[in-house]
């Protein structure tokens, strides 16, 4: 006997049941990129998916075909930690020889750190998110830039101010001073 409860108050998702042995072939999952948890996400992977791409870094990171599961908040936070502008061309993280740049190394590390911190904090409760057990997430108390438009950049030594722009219909928070 099994009971499944699905609660999606923001109505971003849906549910379908698929046999486990065919999951990787299902149309919803067949083209998903690498999971951002674990050591498989590294600078070499970023270089392989960003090579030759002109799309802004923020858009490329939100593209689930490149990396699965990264959302707007975590992308903003990871880009700040890595010191990279969300407007920067994603292909600029790849050297002329196709290798990962130092920025790609910083970004891969920042993504893993942000995801690990968010999981440890139980996610981010902005409006109505709750964990499966009903508890709130607390990662929003650790945001460096997300939702902090007009505040001083928290990076030590930076005198910039967090700005908000719109990219692909989503709010992007970043520091124009230290994120290049």
Residue-by-residue pLDDT tens, the chain, 180 positions: 888 888 777 777 888 888 989 988 999 889 999 999 878 899 999 999 999 999 999 999 999 999 998 989 999 999 999 999 999 999 999 999 999 999 999 999 999 999 988 877 666 655 454 545 555 555 555 789 999 999 999 999 999 999 999 998 999 999 999 999
- The answer to whether the beta carbons of residues 136 and 124 sit under 8 Å apart is no
Provide the whole-model pTM.
0.84
Alpha carbons 54 and 67: distance in angstroms, whole number = 17
Q: What is the DSSP string of the chain?
A: --------TT---------GGGGGGSTTTTT--B-SSSTT--HHHHHHHHTT--SBHHHHHH-TTTBTT--HHHHHHHHHHHT--TTSBGGGGB-TTSPBPHHHHHHHHHHHHHHHHHHHHT---SSS---TTSPPP-GGGG-SSTT-TTSBP-STT---B-EEEEETTEEEEE-TTT--
User: How would you class 19 by CB atoms within 10 Å of its CB: exposed for 0-12, middle for 13-18, buried for 19 or more?
Assistant: exposed
- The answer to whether the beta carbons of residues 26 and 32 sit under 8 Å apart is no
């Amino acid at each position: 006997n099994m009971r499944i409860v699905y609660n999606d108050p923001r109505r971003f998702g849906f549910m379908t049941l698929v046999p486990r042995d065919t999951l990787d072939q299902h149309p919803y999952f067949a083209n998903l990129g690498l999971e951002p948890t674990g050591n498989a996400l590294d600078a070499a992977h970023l270089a392989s998916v960003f090579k030759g791409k002109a799309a802004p870094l923020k858009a490329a990171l939100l593209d689930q075909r490149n990396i699965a599961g990264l959302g707007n908040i975590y992308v903003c936070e990871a880009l700040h930690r890595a010191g990279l502008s969300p407007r920067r061309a994603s292909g600029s993280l790849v050297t002329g020889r196709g290798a990962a740049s130092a920025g790609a190394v910083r970004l891969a590390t920042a993504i893993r750190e942000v995801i690990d911190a968010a999981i440890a904090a139980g996610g981010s409760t902005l409006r109505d998110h709750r964990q499966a057990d009903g508890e709130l997430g607390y990662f929003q108390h650790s945001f460096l830039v997300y939702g902090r438009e007009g505040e001083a950049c928290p990076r030590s030594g930076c005198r910039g101010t967090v700005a908000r722009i719109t990219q692909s219909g989503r709010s992007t928070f970043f520091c124009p001073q230290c994120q290049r």
